[in-house]
Amino acid sequence: MPDTPQQPSVLFVCVHNAGRSQMAAAFLTHLAGDRVQVRSAGSAPADTVNPAVVEALGEVGIDISAQVPKVLTVEAVQASDVVITMGCGDTCPVFPGKRYLDWQLPDPAGQGVDAVRPIRDEIEQRIRALIDDIAPTARA
């Protein structure tokens, strides 16, 4: 058997860690399984995940009702290979050798599920492309 490369790790960051970063982390976990380590955090985490986000993900079979927003730590950034900010101008510690991406996405805060669905679908497409980039599977 060939050596398997180290499992890549991804950190999703937004201010409240209640919407976009939660959706991105949930899709990456759902689609990549144990091929990728997934973290999400916010610089000023909310008390709860946005209910419209929970509902929108539930519609595609992903349950994040037990998730809670987490505070961004320097350790989380240091432990991640890829750091993705979610278009909210977040300041994030920068370390050499990390890959930083900024995904400009509308903020679902205060929006109903109808407004969250297109954001969810855009995040899913970006996650699928990210997986192909950092954790491709062998195709038969």
Q: Of these residues, 92, 105, 119, 127, which one is catalytic?
A: 92
Whether 45 sits among the annotated catalytic residues: the reply is: no
With CA atoms as reference, report the closest residue to 50 among 104, 110, 98, 119. Answer: 110
Q: Are 22 and 30 in contact (CB under 8 A)?
A: no
Greatest CA span in the chain, whole angstroms? 50
d(CA 63, CA 59): 9
Q: Of these residues, 10, 13, 14, 77, which one is catalytic?
A: 14
- Residue 70, token pair as written in the block: 């987490």
Whether 14 sits among the annotated catalytic residues: the reply is: yes
CA gyration radius for the chain?
Answer: 15
Q: Of these residues, 83, 84, 88, 123, which one is catalytic?
A: 88
Residues labelled as active-site residues:
14, 88, 92
